[in-house]
Amino acid sequence: MLFGASLSYGDNSFVNRTASANNRILPLKNTDMYIMTALSPASRVRTVEKIPLENEEETEEGQPQLGNRLDGPFDRRQRQLQLFGPPDDAIVYLGGSQSDKLYSTAQGSAYVVGSNLRDGFYYMSEGKTHEEYRLYKGTTPHDFSFRNFNDFSPDEDEGRVEIENDPGRFGNGGDLMTNINMRAPFRGAAPKVAAIAAISSAVVGTLSPASSVTFAQALSKARAGLREALGPVTVIPGLVLFDVAVNRLYQRPILDNIAVCSQWPQPCGERDGYFLDGGAVENLALSPIVSQYQRQESTIVSKKNIDNNKPLKIILTSTNSEWIDAYGLTQILQYFDSPVTDGIEPGGYLSLPSRTVPIRSPQVFEDYMDEAMLNALLEPIPGSNMTTALMPSLTTTDNPVYGIEAGQAVQLLLINLNEDLSAFVAGPSIIRNVTAPHAEMVRKIAANDILVQRVRDFYLAP
Ordered DSSP codes for 428-457:
HHHHHHHHHHHHHHHHHHHH-HHHHHHHHH
Domain ranges of the chain: 30-47+88-280, 286-460
pLDDT at position 177: 62
Instruction: Report how far Cα 106 is from the mean position of its chain's Cα atoms.
Output: 7
* Cα radius of gyration (the chain): 25
**Contact partners, residue 442, CB within 8 Å, separation at least 6:** none
pLDDT at position 412: 93
How many whole angstroms separate alpha carbon 426 and alpha carbon 442?
Answer: 19
For the chain, which ranges sit under pLDDT 50?
49-71, 298-301
Which residues are 102's β-sheet partners? 95, 163
Q: Are 428 and 453 in contact (CB under 8 A)?
A: no
> What 3-state DSSP class applies to 158?
helix
Instruction: Name the residue type at position 122.
Output: Y
End-to-end CA distance of the chain: 42
Give the DSSP H or E segment for 45: strand 42-45
pLDDT at position 58: 44
Is the preceding omega at residue 265 within 30 degrees of 0, hence cis? yes
Q: Are 368 and 393 in contact (CB under 8 A)?
A: no
pLDDT at position 51: 43
Q: Is the dihedral of CA 298, 301, 307, 313 positive or negative?
A: positive
Q: Are 69 and 303 in contact (CB under 8 A)?
A: no
- Alpha-helix runs per DSSP H in 200-254: 212-229, 235-250
